[in-house]
A = this chain, B = another copy of it.
Amino acid sequence: MTGERTPRQDDGERRFLDAYDPGAYAPAAVTVDVAALTIRAGVPHVLLMRRTARPQLGWWALPGGFVRAQDGPDGPADPDLPDAALRVLSQKTPLPTELHLEQLGTYGALDRDPRMRVISVAYVLLAPDLPDPDTDADRAAWIPWSVLGHGIGDSRDRGGHGGGDDDRGGRAEIELAFDHARIVADAVERARSKLEYTALATAFLPPEFTITALREVYEAVWGRPLHGANFHRKILATPGFVEDTGRLADRGGSGGGRRARLYRPGGAAFLHPPLLRGAQSAPA
């Protein structure tokens, strides 16, 4: 508000900048990688692509690409890093109109890419159930977290009291290129913890949804059943989490049952109090 991004320039400053040579530094390549997360039929998925170039040709990897530092033949410079993330992602799959994008972290170990020094800024995208990518399924696909191994599909929380044994029998089957397994693991942990204290669960849902659908998001991401009745009350007791539309969902499920109210996201970003995943078991 007070000119934070527009430092004043005196004359010496201007002369310096005119003479500056941007090519003088030995640089690293900068990329963005996006861990796009969604939930399909109650199962959490991440968008992966098969590499079509060396190195690690044919391996599964996160969608990503180089940041456009300056205007060039490929197109204009990316104004900021989130723009780069959305650009590389939209080149590979259709994007939803509503989405949540946040920076996850930057990965820059010397040996993480065999070609050269690559610094990769990773983003997490949370989106409602999306159609399959345009490209044929062999090149890009939504993959369940549970087949990625390395602890990604596990639902252990940091306290370690949970003793649930409800994981599917599927062992790790897919190994990812570069350090992308770690990035996905970090993205999943980010999503799990953000559901505790923010209203982000609605980012996985269409614009209008039922409380049960919201609960199923929590259950899918945390990998654990929640107590429906108490969840319902807790959501409605959290100011600004959801807002009643006054309408009802079309059907109450496959069989019978009362029709559920439809809600839309409320204005709140943070939840007071948070919903904690250290508690609440399923009813018998």
Contacts and interface: CB of A to CB of B under 8 A. Distances in A.
Given A29-B27, A30-B28, A67-B119, A80 B22 contact: no
Give chain A's interface secondary structure class: loop
Interface stretch (A6-14, A34-42, A256-264): A6-14
Given A17-B55, A17-B115, A182 B121 contact: no
Given A56-B7, A77-B110, A116 B2 contact: no
Contact of A25 (B29, B57, B106): B29
A272 B159 contact: yes
Contacts of A77: 110, 117
A22 to B, nearest CB: 4
A231 interface: no
A25 B59 CA distance: 23
A278 B274 CA distance: 12
Interface size class of chain A, counting residues whose CB lies under 8 Å from the partner chain: 35 or more
A168 interface: no
Contacts of A30: 27-28, 30, 108, 119
Contacts of A182: 4
A105 interface: yes
A111 interface: yes
Interface of A: 1-2, 4-5, 7, 9, 12-13, 16-17, 20, 22, 25-30, 54-57, 59, 66-67, 69-70, 72, 77-81, 84, 103, 105-112, 114-117, 119, 121, 149-150, 158-159, 172, 175, 177-179, 181-182, 269-270, 272, 278
Given A13-B57, A69-B117, A106-B121, 10 more contacts: A2-B172, A4-B182, A5-B112, A7-B59, A22-B29, A22-B115, A27-B27, A81-B109, A84-B108, A103-B105
